[in-house]
Amino acid sequence: MSVSRTYMDYVKSCLLNKEHVIEDGLAADMTFGNIRENYLVGALTSNGKLKPMQRAVVLSLASKTITLKAAGRAAFFNVGDALTLYHSSAESSLGNIASINLTNNTITFDGTGSPTEDDEVYVKDGSETPVGIAMNDLSSTDTTQVKFLTYLLHGIVNSDLIPNYCAIADTALPHIFFRARGV
């Protein structure tokens, strides 16, 4: 007897279907903080380890403070990160992140530039392009310890359950099918 499942059967996971799933694993870089299930992850150019993708879409700009479109997205960035702007198919530096306001979902940068609505900002360290979706939580205060992260390479997922989802995931991860289904 076959059982039909929906995304509601997997409350925590973004997976819509547990069949035809391919997962892999790599070491994670814990110096950037915790990695939670359903985060898009990218591989650092410097060491090949995984970390949460730090990429967001701009809603507005006031002086040097960027308000991000998706709620909670500011939490994926860190003060001191070098911020890159993607505007009209070109990259430019915005300097470093000077402050982050989690309540207002804003990032303040110390360089020059004028991001406009729907531009993307990201930390250009290799993680700006996702390689998969984290399938387990990793938390550690010991940043020297090697942690192993399982990540999804192929499957059907609910993009509404991925906290750091950006449209680049659709093209960067062609074997993962993203479907918006609500939370």
Give per-residue pLDDT as tens, 107-159: 999 999 999 999 999 999 998 999 999 988 887 666 666 778 888 888 899 99
pLDDT score of 4 more than 50: no
Give the global pTM: 0.79
Domain 16-51+129-179 superfamily per CATH: Head decoration protein D (2.40.300.10)
- Per-residue pLDDT at 20: 66
3-class DSSP state of 60: strand
Q: Is the dihedral of CA 94, 36, 24, 146 positive or negative?
A: positive
What would the two tokens of residue 32 be? 């950037």
User: Does pLDDT of 97 surpass 90?
Assistant: yes
Domain ranges of the chain: 16-51+129-179, 55-123
Q: Report the CATH number of the 55-123 domain.
A: 2.40.30
pLDDT digits (tens, 9 = 90+) for 70-84: 878 888 898 999 999
* Beta bridge partners of residue 116, listed in sequence order: none
